[in-house]
């Protein structure tokens, strides 16, 4: 049976009044306080601020942050449970947010999508 999973990442700061919505079961992951951001080193933080989650250095930094693997594992487990909850077809929506939506959220959303 085919399954549809829609994955969106966004910045909580920019959503007015609410995040993207679909007609689907929804799982939301708020990374605002869950992962370290930005790096403690001011010089590194300045470089990262000009990059996005698509840049390899940012992706590697986010994925190596303590707690990231568990967030990804838990999300994959929960999405799998939502997808297989009934025999009927039903899409599932994953919303991943951080404050600005440029670094943590897109990296984590992409990692979850790849795992699925």
What 3-state class would DSSP assign to 93?
strand
Q: What are phi and psi of 69, to 5 degrees?
A: -60, -40
pLDDT, tens only, 6-56? 899 988 887 665 666 666 778 889 888 877 666 677 777 777 788 999 999
Count CB neighbours of 46 within 10 A.
11
Instruction: Give the rounded distance of the alpha carbon of 67 from its chain centre.
Output: 13
Helix (H) or strand (E) holding 106: helix 104-115
C-beta separation of 18 from 107 below 8 A: no
pLDDT, tens only, 61-102? 899 988 999 999 999 999 998 888 866 777 888 999 988 889
Q: 37: domain range?
A: 5-115
Tally of domains in the chain: 1
């Amino acid at each position: 049976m085919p399954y549809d999973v829609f994955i969106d990442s966004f910045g909580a700061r920019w959503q007015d009044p609410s995040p993207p919505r679909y007609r689907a079961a929804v799982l939301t992951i708020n990374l605002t306080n869950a992962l370290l951001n930005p790096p403690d080193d001011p010089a590194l933080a300045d470089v990262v601020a000009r990059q996005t989650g698509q840049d390899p250095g940012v992706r590697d930094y986010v994925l190596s942050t303590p707690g990231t693997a568990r967030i990804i594992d838990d999300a994959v487990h929960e999405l799998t449970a939502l997808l297989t909850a009934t025999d009927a077809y039903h899409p599932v929506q994953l919303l991943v947010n951080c404050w600005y939506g440029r670094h943590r959220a897109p990296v984590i959303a992409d990692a979850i999508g790849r795992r699925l």
